[in-house]
Structure 1
Amino acid sequence: MDTDTKGTPLKDTARPLDAAAVLALLPSRPRVLALGEPTHGEDTLLEVRNALFRQLVEREGYRTIAIESDCLLGLAVDDHVVSGTGTLDEVMERGFSHGFGASAANRELVRWMRDFNDGRPRSERLRFAGFDGPLEITNAESPRRALIALYGYLAAHVDADLLPCTARTLDRLLGPDERWTEPAAMTDPARSAGRSAEARELRLLADDLVAVLDQQTPHLIPATSRDGWDRARLYGRTATGLLRYHYWMADTSPDRMTRLLGIRDAMMAENLLALAERGPVLAFAHNSHLQRPKSTMRMWDHPLLEWWSAGALVNARLGEDYAFVATALGTIRHRGVGTPPPDTVEGLLYALPEDRYLVDPARLAAALGDTPPVSRESPWFGYASLSPAHLTDIDGLVFVKDVPER
């Protein structure tokens, strides 16, 4: 099938992939331009990202690149690309979560960002950010790092009598980090510390510390810097988000996992919105974190889980200032993902001759006419196929024909 019933060629929906082609699909340059991937861990997809983001930075003035990685660890990467702090090896080892620092394509991205900034005025330098919470698949981080950093910032710049507690009190309530990071708590709520008396008191104190930060903004920005204040806000968002996440880890209701997924994406959304206050942002994450419709997942013995993604939340706030370009792919043969069936979106696009290109989703939906494709069944849990129903909710579609084995 290469035409619809009206004879419109599917090839006419595709064009070469570059920054100009992406922006031509949009009514204006968005404040947040998000690029999704259907699977993690494939450098071919990250190389496509690097090439596209480089063009958007150099030609369209984007000055922040944010990826799905720990927002606190990412501060070390940002210091490196902006100021040259630390070595490339050090920031790749300690500046990423989820094992993403081992990626050669991520390493090349950081190296290029540092080279781009060399010799530029600070106001024109490219910034890096992680926008995920400090959350791994098997556990959530202790709130210690974020809470202590927030407290330290405030203690250094506001009167002590404005603070709701002392550093010693926080340390006592936090206790050993192991009580927070217990991997068994992900599947056994009884192993979570999130509803202990100490955790409940910490939630109140964290809220009060964030309130002090907000109330003292007119003093804190000139006394420190906008960057320093922004980081303190990040610490506050992360501390309150982690404490909320741990609270729901201890929940025993059927909605527990849905709550956790929603909290994670809400943390991502708040980080993206804060970055967008600083200027235009390029974001990169899994398609499911960036799409406008509700995200879904099947996990263990749970029924289908549904929650609003970070992209849906940001889109609700920014409207046309948010754009989402999804990525679909044909094969990942070393993962058992072979040639897509011809009656799927991926199968139709796989029949076109180019190796990678940009598709106009609106034109593709029109070309498909009254015979919509079926959903592709993923043979590997780590790859999520494109839902045909989502075509009208994305602004652009990058198609990569084959992901070669490394």
Structure 2
Amino acid sequence: MSSPSRVRAALVDHSLPIPRPGSDVSERSSAGSQRQSDGTGEVDSAPYPPALADAEIVGLGEATHGTRECFRHKARLIQWLVADCGFRTVGFEAGAAAATALDAFVRADPVDDAPDSPESSLAELDMWQWQTESVRDLLTWLRRFNRGRPAEEQVRVHGVDLSAPSTPAAPLGSYFERVDPDTTGSDAFRAVSNTTVPDDEAERERTLDDVAAAAATLTDRVEANREAYQRRSSPEAWRRARHFCRVIEQATEWARVRHQQPGPHPEGMAARDRFMAENALWALERDSGSGVALWAHDSHVGRGTFDDGTVWADATAMGERLSAELGDGYRPVGVDFGQGSFRAVGAESGDLGTFSVGEPAERSATAAFAGVDDAPFLLDLDAAATDERLSDWLGEPRRTRCVGSVFDPTADEGVGYARTDLPATFDYLLFLPESTPTRATGEP
């Protein structure tokens, strides 16, 4: 069995020290943009592995949805993927329809009535997780990067997550107003846009059947009028409208599955991640550059199953489906942290708050990572898995921090950790010595 000191030495050998962000994304953006226009493409001096540059999709995880250091490091990594590696798509764990506001902002798109500020674009998401200064500053940087570039060289932003079946009706309706206004008054469009999912099972099934039929009708209309619609808009706008029809179908099926049982359950989460993977692959097909940087929770980006101790722990994750489709073209990066504070929704109160955790659990991977002096660092798990000093240690599932949107500070110590086969789940792991809460936009 490997001793702690032997494990620590091996971890050091397979880790890349990552400089702490010395400034926010916005503070680096002007200099970074100038270097890009000069053709050097350099954003900062942080070292990142070539395997990430060569990927088709890089999954960027997070141990919590509320750790500021994680968000800042991910923003910087996205800058590098965009400026140095030619990535032209950023995907978020956010609804596909609502995220159109982010895309319109970073492209300053007059056709899509672009929001005039990153804050207003983030407000469209209605998600506290992303309404932070780190994401705001990243969007600002992307907008500056896009300025003056032709449309085919600009970075696009897409949401890969699901929503209520009616939510995609808003951007789809805006498209129909441009190309075929009569469609917005059709029975099919009204059936989608006016839908709420009933609590009564029989009524819910009837409603979802009606929405599914309406979505099929809208899909047929978009397909049948492809040439005319593209003349009145653009091929890209048509493809996005076609995708929104598909998102309605996804949301309808997801609503049907997740209401089959009371409360969260494995089938509901598995369906969600199946559709998230489908949407990420759609974004990759549309990408005009070298790949997609995909921002989501560790539980979604990792290969295999969730392994997080929840009722859906055995559900197949988005990352497993992307890996099955892309092989080495998919590179997931997990995140862990030693101790500190983060934002989450309290399990009992239901309110958004700040929670703190102390030193990591004994014999957890987190504790071993915390013993490495050079944190923050990026651990190459592929290389580490071939090191005989780590063969025993990495040969069994290990615990790393894992907190979703909801946190129960009164739960047992095991809650707040995932137990997973690290090399099988992630290619790299970013370890942060400390977590501090994300800062909401508008906070001083």
- TM-score range, shorter-chain basis? 0.7 to 0.9
Q: 2:375 aligns with which of 355, 359, 369?
A: 355
User: What amino acid maps onto 1:289 in structure 2?
Assistant: H
Long gaps (5+) in structure 2: 19-43, 343-354, 408-414, 439-444
Match of 1:98 among 116, 123, 127: 127
- Residue in structure 1 matched with residue 233 of structure 2 by the alignment: 224
2:210 to 197, 201, 206: 201
Where do residues 118-157 of structure 1 align in structure 2 (5 Å cutoff)? Answer: 118-134=147-163, 141=164, 143-147=165-169, 149-150=171-172, 153=175, 157=179
Q: Deviations over 1:85-106 (max 9, x none)?
A: 2221553453324213431111
Offset, 1:22: 3.7
> 2:366 touches 2:401 (CA, 8 Å); kept in 1?
no
The corresponding residue for 1:137 is none
User: Aligned match of 1:395 in 421, 427, 430?
Assistant: 427
Shift of 1:41: 1.5
Q: State the match for 1:56 in structure 2.
A: 81
How far did 1:150 drift?
Answer: 4.1
What are the Cα deviations for residues 137-170 of structure 1, in whole angstroms up to 9, with x where unaligned? xxxx2x234246547746865798xx8xx83423
- For 1:337 and 1:214, locate their aligned partners in 2 and report how far apart those are by CA, in whole Å: 52
Aligned to 1:376: 399
- Structure 2 vs 1, CA of residues 388 and 238 (structure 1 numbering), >3 Å: closer, same or farther? closer
Tell me the alpha carbon deviations over residues 247-293 of structure 1, each in whole angstroms, 9 at most, x when there is no partner. 224424x8982222122112211211111012211001001111110
What are the residue-to-residue correspondences of 1:6-405 with 2, within 5 Å? 9-17=10-18, 21-25=47-51, 29-83=54-108, 85-88=114-117, 90-134=119-163, 141=164, 143-147=165-169, 149-150=171-172, 153=175, 157=179, 167-170=185-188, 173=191, 177=195, 179-180=196-197, 185=199, 190=200, 193-196=203-206, 198-214=207-223, 216-217=225-226, 220-252=229-261, 257-279=265-287, 280-296=291-307, 303=311, 305-333=313-341, 335-365=355-385, 366=387, 367-372=389-394, 375-376=398-399, 382=407, 384-385=416-417, 387-404=419-436
> In structure 2, do the counterparts of structure 1 residues 296 and 286 end up closer, same or farther at CA, with 3 Å as the change threshold?
same
Contact 2:306–2:312 (8 Å) recurs in 1? no
Name the SS of the counterpart of 2:265 in structure 1.
helix
Letter in 2 for 1:213: V
Equivalents in 1 of 2:359, 2:167: separation in Å? 46
Q: Match for 1:126: what amino acid?
A: V
Counterpart contact for 1:326–1:397, Cα < 8 Å? yes
Residues 1:384 and 1:270: Cα distance change in structure 2 (over 3 Å): farther
Asked if 1 retains the 8 angstrom alpha-carbon contact of 2:336 and 2:432, the reply is yes
In 1, Cα distance between equivalents of 2:269 and 2:161: 12
Give 1:138's aligned residue. none
Give distance in 2, aligned partners of 1:258 and 1:374.
21
CA contact (8 A) 1:2 1:10 kept: no
Per-residue CA distance 1:51-92 (angstroms, 9 max, x = gap)? 111111111111111111121111111111102622215534
Q: Cα deviations across residues 307-326 of structure 1 (Å, max 9, x unaligned)?
A: 22222122222222211111
Structure 1, gaps ≥5 residues long: 135-140
CA distance in 2, matches of 1:315, 1:121: 32
Deviation at 1:205, TM superposition (A): 2.6
Task: Provide the rounded CA distance (Å) in 1 between the counterparts of 2:293 and 2:400.
Answer: 30
> Using the alignment, how far apart are the partners of 2:268 and 2:103 within structure 1?
28
Provide Cα deviations, 1:306-361, integer angstroms capped at 9, x if missing partner: 22222212222222221111111111246332222452211111111123111111
The one-letter amino acid of 2:54's match is R
Asked if structure 2 preserves the Cα contact closer than 8 Å seen for 1:78 and 1:128, the reply is yes
Counterpart-to-counterpart distance in 2, 1:63 and 1:342? 42
Looking at secondary structure, tell me which structure has more helix per residue. Answer: 1
Measured in 2, the distance between the counterparts of 1:321 and 1:121 equals: 27
Task: Describe the SS at the equivalent of 2:432.
Answer: strand
Q: Distance in 2 between matches of 1:311 and 1:144?
A: 27
Classify 1:261/1:103 alpha carbon distance in 2 versus 1 (closer, same or farther; 3 Å).
Answer: same
- The letter of the residue matching 2:425 is D
With the length of structure 1 as denominator, give the TM-score of the two structures: 0.81
Cα distance in 2, alignment partners of residues 250 and 95 from structure 1: 26
> For the residues of structure 1 that align with 2:426 and 2:375, how far apart are their CA atoms?
21
One-letter code of the match for 2:208?
A
Alignment-mate amino acid for residue 72 of structure 2? E
Q: For 1:368, what is the secondary structure of its paired residue?
A: coil
The letter of the residue matching 1:23 is P
SS at match of 2:142: helix
CA distance, structure 1, for counterparts of residue 156 and residue 127 of structure 2: 21
Is the partner of 1:376 in helix, strand or coil? strand
Name the CA shift for 1:121/1:155 in 2 (closer, same or farther; >3 Å): closer
The alpha-carbon deviation at position 127 of structure 1 amounts to 1.6
**SS of residue paired to 2:204:** coil
| Percentage of identical aligned residues | 22
* Contact 2:96-2:160 within 8 A present in 1 as well: yes
